Structure 1
Amino acid sequence: MVTPTEQLAILEISGITPQLRELETEAVAEGFRFLSRLIEEWESGANRFDQQGECLFGAFRNGRLVAIGGLSSDQFAESDVGRLRRVYVARASRGQNVGKALVQQLLELASRHFRVVRLSTDTPEGAAFYLRCGFQPIQDDFATHMKSLVE
């Protein structure tokens, strides 16, 4: 849990920063390469989360980047389907609702542009996390979970 003395802010990220590179180093040490892909795609211009409905947000605790996540159109689905991408929470911030707060913010933004959000995760911990965030498991070649944003 984030205590009242710890300020958590969820802010849009508009570039690659030293703090993001530090988060990438931690992710790589855990065997996750998707933040490296995020940085490579940003630097090449292949994906900067700047299309309609897309965004990249970070969770900052006392000014320090402790989690990141993006939202984009799902290239494997209809145009009204979004995709949660590149979600990573620093190990020291897990289990404190930081990731959940970040995902909730991304879903709130997604609801303005998409009717469904999908994602793909390949770890049991990731799957359990997304279930806690209200996603449902699905059988699909390009996604493992989805959440409807319309009632």
Structure 2
Amino acid sequence: MKLKDGVEVIECLDEEDPGSEGHCLRNIFRLMEVKSKYSSVNSIEDLIALIAESRYKYIHVSAHGKVSARGKFSGWWTPNGIGSRKNFTKYSFKSNAVAIVSTACMSGSEGFGKFIVNDLGAKYYIGPSRSPKFYINAAIK
């Protein structure tokens, strides 16, 4: 299957979020003439479905990171559920994406990164090891 060039931006917003990182990225991609698609989700099931169905080479997940009481990353947050490794394994799929990029806090943890590559099938995974800073986020073309 031939994948589409460009980036699919999947965003998990809370009503209290001050703005939309996903819309900002989509506008930047338009300026750069990079093909992109924007989707907003409210549940982990919808997030998983979009990752599984995406035909774009690159996926950017814009979400909050769920961090445990011990300060460990436990999954992508949505208003209706957490995208933990355990929740992902309930669904049997392989991502078609070459790379998945995440800006969720601490989502660059080694264990989650290995899960995205080894279990979900993306060739590359990029995520911050701490709280993301705007100047270290990457856009891939």
The TM-score by the shorter chain falls in which range?
A: 0.3 to 0.5
Tell which has more relative contact order, 1 or 2 (C-alpha 8 A, sep 6+): 2
The structure in which a higher percent of residues are helix is 1
- The TM-score normalised by the length of structure 2 is 0.32
- The TM-score normalised by the length of structure 1 is 0.31
Greater Cα radius of gyration, structure 1 or 2: 1
